[in-house]
Amino acid sequence: MGTVLHESPYLEHWRALSLRIRCALDPDEPRLIEHYLAEGRYLARFTATPKSLICESTFRLLIDTASDTALPWHWRCLCLDQAWRPLRDMQSLAESAAQQQRVQAFARRLANCALLPSMPLAEPAPSNPQNALPTASDRRRHP
Radius of gyration for the alpha carbons in the chain, expressed in angstroms and rounded: 21
- The one-character DSSP state at 129 is G
Q: Which residues contact 21 (CB under 8 A, 6 or more apart)?
A: 32, 33, 36, 61, 62, 65, 79
pTM of the complete model: 0.78
Residue 48 clears pLDDT 80, i.e. is over it: yes
The model's pLDDT over 79-131, given as tens digits with 9 standing for 90+, comes to 999 999 999 999 999 999 999 999 999 999 999 988 888 888 775 555 555 55
Where along the chain do its domains lie?
Answer: 7-115
pLDDT (0 to 100) of residue 120: 84
Q: Which of 44, 59, 42, 50 is nearest to 103 (CA)?
A: 59
CA dihedral (113, 115, 116, 117) in degrees, to 10, reads 170
Residue 135 has pLDDT above 80, yes or no: no
Q: Is the pLDDT of residue 30 over 80?
A: yes
- Stretch 128-139: mean pLDDT: 52
Q: What is the mean pLDDT of the chain?
A: 86
Q: Is the pLDDT of residue 5 over 90?
A: no
Average pLDDT of the residues in 36-49: 93
Distance, in Å, from the CA atom of 113 to the CA atom of 125, rounded to the nearest integer, reads: 35
